Chain A
Amino acid sequence: MSSEPDPLDPLLQRWSQARPQMPAPEVLATEVWRRIADAEAAGGEPTLWGRLDAVFSRPSFAAVFIAACTLFGLFLAEVRLSRVQAQRNVQLAQAYIRLIDPLLEQPNPGSPATHNSPAAPANPASP
């Protein structure tokens, strides 16, 4: 064995002094798994808006959606219209009766004829 000092020894000694502090193995493992989870979350499952945007970006779906909204608007209008029409029919019928029945021109509680008006037939099916 030679007693001559190895020239690498001071270098290794200097490197060991300059080496940064290593975390404990369990802390290192936790940190590694955390970073892996972060990376998967960032590039994986899309958000709700992201999904909607992807769906609406398809021209066929966009066209169907707009057409469906238009038809739904028409449907709501028709429902509303039928209610308005029913109310208006009653109002027109009442106005018509006031025109043809002089006893109904103005309500008069003292007149029994308002209840015996010929415009309110007892049997609607009879001529």
Chain B
Amino acid sequence: MNRGIIVMLLGIIGGALSHEGWLTYKQSGVSGSDLDAQLAWIKSDLQLTPEQYARIKAIHQESSPHLHALASRVARMRDEFNAFERQRTTTGEIDFLEFAQFIQERRRIDGECLQSTRQLVDASAGVMTPRQRERYLSLLSAAHRPAGSAN
């Protein structure tokens, strides 16, 4: 009787240890949210060669300061828009000339953002093989879907 229980316990312990061990071993991949972590993930997912990775990393690093500056301007525009909205709800009035200038500036910045991002994506995709490019663009498309329909 005892021997049977011991063998069963050993089986359960073996299964649990192999389960946890495999999870720990395989989960020690890339993590983090900075550019290096993202590029490491792209390299791993798309199986980029060292040359492709170096080129894509350089492309991203070149455009990163400009994209950050654009992100700051977008955030500032968002604050300005909120200020307009507050003024409209509190006083019931709005300076249409100022608002028209804001809209114009916003369109310009939006266009610049679109162009910068598109250039980055196109330049990165240009370094890749057709198969990698297809996978890369499909990942971007999937990430744009709402979280609930991600899978």
Main SS class of interface, A: helix
Residues of A within 8 A of B63 (CB): 100
Interface range for B: 35 or more
- The reply to whether A73 and B81 contact each other, CB–CB distance below 8 Å, is no
Q: Which residues of A contact B45 (CB under 8 A)?
A: 89
Min CB distance, B123 to chain A, in Å? Answer: 11
Q: Which B residues are CB-close (under 8 A) to A108?
A: 74, 78
* B18 pairs with A102, CB closer than 8 A: no
Contact in complex: A93, B7 (CB < 8 Å): no
Contact of B23 among A65, A69, A80, A94 (CB under 8 A): A80
User: Judging by beta carbons under 8 Å apart, are B141 and A127 in contact?
Assistant: no
Please classify how large the interface on chain A is, using the bins under 10, 10 to 19, 20 to 34, 35 or more.
35 or more
Contacts of A33 in B (CB 8 A): none
Contact check, B22 vs A119: say whether CB atoms are below 8 A apart: no
Binding site for A on B (CB under 8 A): 1, 3-4, 7-8, 10-12, 14-20, 22-23, 26-27, 30, 33, 35, 37-38, 41-42, 45, 60, 63-64, 67-68, 70-71, 73-75, 78, 81, 110, 113-118, 120-122, 125-126, 130, 133-134, 137-144, 147, 150-151
Q: What is the interface of chain A, defined by CB distance below 8 A to chain B? A: 49, 52-53, 55-57, 62, 65-74, 76-78, 80-81, 84, 86-87, 89-90, 92-97, 99-103, 105-106, 108, 110-113, 116-121, 124-127
